[in-house]
Amino acid sequence: MERLRSAPPPVKRPAKKSKKAVAAMRPAEYAAYIGRLAAAGMVRRRPLGRGPFLAGFRIFYADGDVGAASPMTRDRMDYLVRYGATLVPTYDPAHLTHVVTTLDRAQFARKTGLESPRDVPDALPVLRWEWVKTGERAGGLARWHEHAAYNDHVVFEAVVPEGERRTVPEACRRGRSSSVQAKGKAADVEGRPDAGDAEASRISEFTQDRLAGLAAEQKPHASVQKAQRTRGEPSTSAATPHGGGGAADPLAEFYAAARAERETELRSDTPLRTGHAAAAAGSRQTGAFQCDIVPDGKVGTCPNQDVIDELNKLVKVHRQGATREDGFKVGAYTRAINGIRKLKTRIKSSEEALAIAGVGSKTAQKIMEIIETGHLRRLDHVLTKEIAILETFQGIYGVGPKVARQWLAAGCRTLDDIREGKHGVKLSTAQHTGLKYYDDINARMPREEAQAIFELIKPVALSIDPKLFVDIMGSFRRGKADCGDIDILITRPTDDGKSHIGRRLHCKDPRKLTTPLGVLRRLLKELHERGVITEDLNVPEDWDDLELVYRGLCRRDSKGLQRRIDFLTVPYKSRGAALLYYTGDDIFNRSMRLKANKMGYSLNQRGLYANVIRNPSDRRQKFNEGVIIASETEREIFEKLGVPWQEPHQRVRGG
C-alpha cells in the first residue's frame, strides 16, 4: 500500500492494515478499504497539472481476479481514487456512472451475477482501462466510443452528429431512467458531491465530448483549469462541444464513414476537446495490454509505411547489438512500430507521433526526421555491411548473436568461409545441419504444404495410438498463408489410465515395462523410415518424460524442400496452456504473460499459476511454483486473465 501516502495522522484514522491483510483482500473489500482511506483524506490526489479528472464519477472496476484482488487491480483502484473517482465496491448499476473492466460481456455478466450477458445495461458506459489512461494523458476525458468494452454501438451512437442520430434503443432509455433515480440517493449515502451523478443522468443525451466539457465546466477544479491555462489554451475550448455538435460538425463525414464500416477502433487526427498535444492524434492506448485489444481484422495499407521501414532498419541494427539495452531497444522499437502500423492517417507532427502507444520522445523525433527527410541520418553511419553479415550467420540454425559476432571478429565474411571452417570455425551438429539446409530452412512454406506434411504425419500418430490428440499449432493455426515451420502438439486423454508416454505412469517399476516406447519415439522412428523426417536438430534425452520437445527437418516428398518441424508432447492436463503458448503469436504471448504477472499470476506453457512468490530482487526467480488455476483449456486461461476470448487467427499482434 505504499502507493497511497499517508497524510499527517488525522484524529479518526482508519485502522492501518498490514501489507499482508491488504494483499488478502478481495477486490470489493479493497475498493471499500481504499474508499475509507480516501474519505479520511489519506489518499493523496495527483499533483496539479493532471487534475482529478474523474472527480464525481462513481466507478465499478471488474477484473479477472480469482479470490484476492491482484496487485494490478489494487494498483488500478488506487489510481482511480487518486484521480478523484469514487470506487463502488459492488456492481450496482443504479449507483454507478461508469464501469471499467477487462472482462468480456459474458465474463462480466457472470462476475456480477447477471443472468445473461444481455442484462449488462447499455446506458452505462462500460469501458476499458485505456479509457482512463488516455483521459489522463489528454488532461480530460477520452471518448467512450474508442474505449467501450462491448456496448460500443450505444456509445458510438452518442457521437453521431445530430442530424444522423438514430433512435436510442429502448433498453437504453429504461436503464437510464431507473438509474437516475437511485443515484441521488447513493450520493447522499456516500456523502459525495452529486455533480457526477447529475452528469451521469445526461449520459445518453449528451455526447461524450459534451460530457467531458461539462466535467470541466461544472466542476471547475482549480487544477484542471490551471492545467489548461498552462497549456495556453483558451478556457472556452474546454466547453466547446464537437463531435456531437450540430450539422456543422466538421467531423460528421468522418463519423458517417466510420459508422458505415462498422469501425470500432477509430484512430484519427480528431483533436480531443483540449487540443493538447497528447490528445492531438486521437487515443493513445497506453496502459492497455495488447492481448486485451481484439484486432478488427482490417489490414489496409499503412500511410506511414516509410517510417515503419526505416524503424525496422533500426531494429535490425540493435538486434545485432551486444548489450542488454540493445535487446530492450529492439522491443521498444517493435512496440512503436506496432503502434504506428495501426495508425490510419499520416503522421504530421511530433505531437501526433508522441501520442502513439510505445512512441516516446526519442522515437517521435526519429519519426519526424523520416517524414521530413525520408530517412534516418543515423543509419548512414552504421556498419550496414557488418550487420548484413551477422544476419546471414544467424540464419544458420543454432547460431545467435554471440557466435555470429565471434565469427565476424575472427575474419569470416561469407557462408562459404563458415563451410570451409576458415579462421578455426567449428560447428555443432545442429549448426552443421542448419548450414547444410540454409536456404530451405530460411524459406517460408505455403500453408498447403504444411497441411500436406501434417496429413502425412497425423495418420501415423493415430496408428500408434488412436486416442492421441494431434494438432498443428503456430502460424498455421493462426491461419497464416505461409508458415516458417510446423509445430505439432501431441497429447492424450488419461481417462483410461494411459498417456502418450505409454503405461509407465501406472507401472511403478520401469524395468517391468511392457510397452517401453513412448509415442513420440515410435512416431519419429516411423517418420524417419518413411523419409518424412530427414534430420534431427534437437532430440529429447529422456524419452519417458511426459513433456518432450523435438526439433528437426522434414519434407513432403523427395522433391520438396526441407522444412523445420517441432513436436511437443504435453500432459493432457496442460493442453490448454500448451495450445495457447505454441499458437502465439509472440507478442500476444508476451502480453498475456505480462498481464498475468501484473495480476499476481504467472503464465507458462503448463498453466496459469496463482500465489507465485517471486524473489523481490530478481523477479524472474520464483520462491514457490504457486497454485495452478487454469491449464486444461485456452478459454479458462483467457477467462481468468479477463482477456476477451480470441480465436487463433485473432491473436496476431506482430506483422
Closest approach, Cβ 561 to DNA, in A, equals: 15
What are the backbone dihedrals phi and psi of residue 66, each rounded to the nearest 5 degrees, phi first? -110, 120
Least distance from C-beta 78 to DNA, angstroms? 10
C-beta of 287 vs 295, nearer to DNA? 287
Residue (597 or 611) nearer to DNA, CB: 597
Distance CA 573, CA 495 (A): 11
CB of residue 180 vs DNA: minimum separation in angstroms? 34
- Residue 304: name the closest of 341, 336, 273, 250 by CA: 341
Helix (H) or strand (E) run with residue 367 in it: helix 361-373
- Cell numbers given for 490: 501431441
Quote the least distance from Cβ 40 to DNA, whole Å: 24
Residue 18 DSSP symbol:
P
The least CB distance from residue 590 to DNA, in Å, is 4
> 509 vs 618, which CB is nearer to DNA?
618
Contact of 484 with 475, CB cutoff 8 Å: yes
Task: Say how far apart CA 128 and CA 121 lie, in whole Å.
Answer: 16
**Active-site choice (111, 133, 219, 366):** 366
Per the CB < 8 A criterion, the answer to whether 197 and 149 are in contact is: no
CA 150 to chain centre: 17
H-run or E-run covering 568: strand 563-569
Exposed e or buried b per residue across 425-447, where buried means at least 16 C-beta atoms within 10 angstroms of its C-beta: bebeebbebbbbbbeebeeebee
DSSP 166-204: PPPPHHHHHHHHHHHHHHHHHHHHHT--SHHHHHHTTTT
Annotate 376-400 with three-state secondary structure: CHHHHCCCHHHHHHHHHHHCCCCCC
Secondary structure (DSSP) of 129-143: HHHHHHHHHHTSPPP
Smallest CA-to-CA distance from 605 within 582, 624, 588 is with 582
> Annotated catalytic, 426?
no
Report the candidate in 130, 46, 121 with the shortest Cα–Cα distance to residue 82.
46
Q: What minimum distance in Å lies between the beta carbon of 580 and DNA?
A: 11
The letter for the amino acid at 460 is: V
Judged by DSSP in three states, 629 sits in: strand
Residue 332, CA distances (Å) to 107, 163, 329 in order: 32, 44, 5
Smallest separation (angstroms) from DNA to the CB of 7:
22
How far is it, in rounded angstroms, from Cα 404 to Cα 128?
44
What's the residue count for the chain?
A: 655
| Smallest separation (angstroms) from DNA to the CB of 577 | 10
* Contact criterion met (CB below 8 Å) for 521 and 506: no
387, 404 contact by CB (below 8 A): no
| Interacting residue ranges for DNA, rule: CB under 7 A | 75, 133, 286-287, 324-325, 328-329, 331-333, 335-336, 357-364, 394, 396-404, 428-430, 474, 485, 487, 538-541, 545, 547-549, 551, 564, 566, 582, 586, 589-590, 593-594, 596-597, 602-605, 617-620, 622
Strand 563-569, strand 485-491: pairing: parallel
* Cβ closest to DNA, residue 181 vs residue 361: 361
Contacts of residue 644, defined as CB under 8 A and 6 or more positions apart, other chains included, come to 103, 104, 292, 294, 638
Beta-sheet strands, E only, within 447-499: 469-472, 482-483, 485-491
**Cα gap 509→409, rounded to integer Å:** 53
Q: How many CB atoms lie within 10 A of CB 332?
A: 18
Contact 100, 80 (CB under 8 A): yes
Rounded least distance, CB 154 to DNA, Å: 27
Choose between 361 and 463: whose C-beta lies nearer to DNA.
Answer: 361
Say how many CA atoms lie within 13 Å of 609 toward its Cβ.
Answer: 14
Smallest distance from the beta carbon of 359 to DNA, in angstroms?
6
Considering the complex, state which of residue 225 and residue 406 has its C-beta at the smaller distance from DNA: 406
Q: Which is nearer to DNA, 109 or 592 (CB)?
A: 592
Nearer to DNA, 209 or 566 (CB): 566
Residue numbers annotated as active site: 366
